[in-house]
Structure formats: C-alpha cells, structure tokens
Amino acid sequence: MRAYSAKEYWSKHLEENFSLSGVGFTQFGKGYNIWIYRMRKKVLERVISKYKIDISNAKILDIGCGSGFYVDILWRKGVKSLVGIDITAISTRELSAKYPNFDFYEADITSPTLINAFPLNRRKFDVIIGFDVLYHIVDDTKFEQGIKNIRLLCSKNGFIFINDLFPHKVPYALFHVKHRLLGDYVRVLSKNGIRILDRMPIQFLLEAPIDISNELLRRVLLRFWWGEIVRVVERKTHLLGPIFFGLDSILTKLFRESPSAEMIVCKCVKKTKNDYRS
C-alpha cells in the first residue's frame, strides 16, 4: 500500500467530486452527508451563540476549507474578513471564484515555514476553525507542528474550534485518519498555551460510535451496525439521515459527551516558548 499523502488524496477526491460527498462519507451517498453536515452546522451555531462571538466583525481562519461548507455558513452570517487555507489547489481555486470577497490560499497547516511565509506572515485571527482536518494528519510530528501553527495564528484570547472523536482510552486509525486520545490533545494544546474551555457532542447516531471502551462491542457496532445495517438501509431508503438528525439534535442538548464526533472550544491563554521560535 502506498503511503498516505494528504495533498494527493484530497486533491483526487475533490477533483472527482467537489461537494460534501467528496469530503464526507462517500459510501453513504450525498443525502446522508447533507444530514451529517447539517448537524455540524447546528452545533457550530450553538457555540457561536453560547460564547457570544461577534462573527460578522471577527477575523476568521478556516483551516482545510475543502468544498467550502463552513465558509458558506459564515458568509451567510455576514462575516466580513475570512481567510481559508487548504492543501489542495482545486479548493482554493473554486472557493476564490465563488467567494471573491474572501481570501483563499493553497497551504499546509503542518508546514514548519507556514507562519513566516506569505500569505500568513504576521497574521492573527480571532476565530480559527479546524474542522475535519486535524484527524487527517496521521503523522504525530506534523500534528504537533499543526497545533503550534494554529497557536501562532491565533490572536490574544482568540477562539479555536476543533472536531474529532477524542476517544478516552483506545485511539482509532485508518489509512487517512488518526483519531488521537483526548489526553493527547490536552497535552499538545497545553504545551502550546491553548486551553480547552468546552467539549460538546456533535453526533451520536449520524457517525460511527468509536469511543467505546469495550473492544468487542465497538467492533460489533462498527462492523455490523455502522458498516452494514446503516449503510445498506440508508442507501436503499434514504430515511436514516433525517431520523438520526432529529435524534442527534435532542441528544446533543442532553449529554456532554458522545461515543461519536465531538467538538472542543479552545482559547489561547498565554504565550509559550514556541512563540519566540517562529
């Protein structure tokens, strides 16, 4: 098997399908992906409201902007200053044409030279969105460099939004995915002067239940429930997406954790020695 190249992998997917299906769960179909991302939108809006963030006047950075899902949400909310970076040329090209008032650049968040190079040199952002990107950095050294870069791009008291599964005991990895433990996130974020303010569920049913400590139960749920039943029933009926969305809308309000996708809200709280090495 060839080694995973993020640029090559995502360029191929987006060239073939520049949509949510191109960046989401292709085997479940376009309709199901719409419900998954609709749930992400709902939770993002909850967070913006909870922390009273003035999105329209904030300087925003969208890391891994992909097909532009979060860009569109922010555009509709009246944001005036937004920069999007993506590892693929097609993303920056397509989004630059669609949103000419925003700036999009082909860049790698894990690059050691990112901060000192145009177009991000000396830039600071009030809100940094790192959705659906950090768990695709499978190399630990690059992951830590990515967190360091995010810290250096964040303004004083700026917000950072990250989503992942944040498992407690058992990490989960595939060819292009590495879901790190919550403890690993806390360690790397703290090292870079970033504090987690909040953690909240994004989904319970719409995505795979990875964060289950019982290995046998986890395998059964992943293999038969998620891998077979949900996929097959959804492709045939297109009913599970809206049903799961309705249930997840309720469950994410009732519980603070889920066995599936979660979001952490972070703040830059202090300078670290890394700030003086950039």
pLDDT in tens, 91-133: 999 999 999 999 999 999 999 999 888 788 878 999 999 999 9
Give tens-digit pLDDT for 190-249: 999 999 999 999 999 999 999 988 889 988 998 899 888 998 999 889 999 999 999 999
Q: What is the pLDDT of residues 144-169, one digit of tens each?
A: 999 999 999 999 889 999 999 999 98
11-20, 45-54, 235-244: segment of lowest average pLDDT: 11-20
- pLDDT score at 275: 47
* Contact assessment for residue 98 and residue 66, using Cβ atoms and an 8 Å cutoff: no
In angstroms, rounded to a whole number, what is the distance separating the alpha carbons of residues 104 and 209?
Answer: 34
**Cβ atoms 260, 211 nearer than 8 A:** yes
Region 59-75: what's the mean pLDDT?
A: 96
Q: Which domains does the chain have, with CATH numbers?
A: 6-269 (3.40.50.150)
The CA-atom distances, in angstroms, between 178 and each of 55, 130, 198 are 30, 15, 22
| Whether pTM exceeds 0.75 | yes
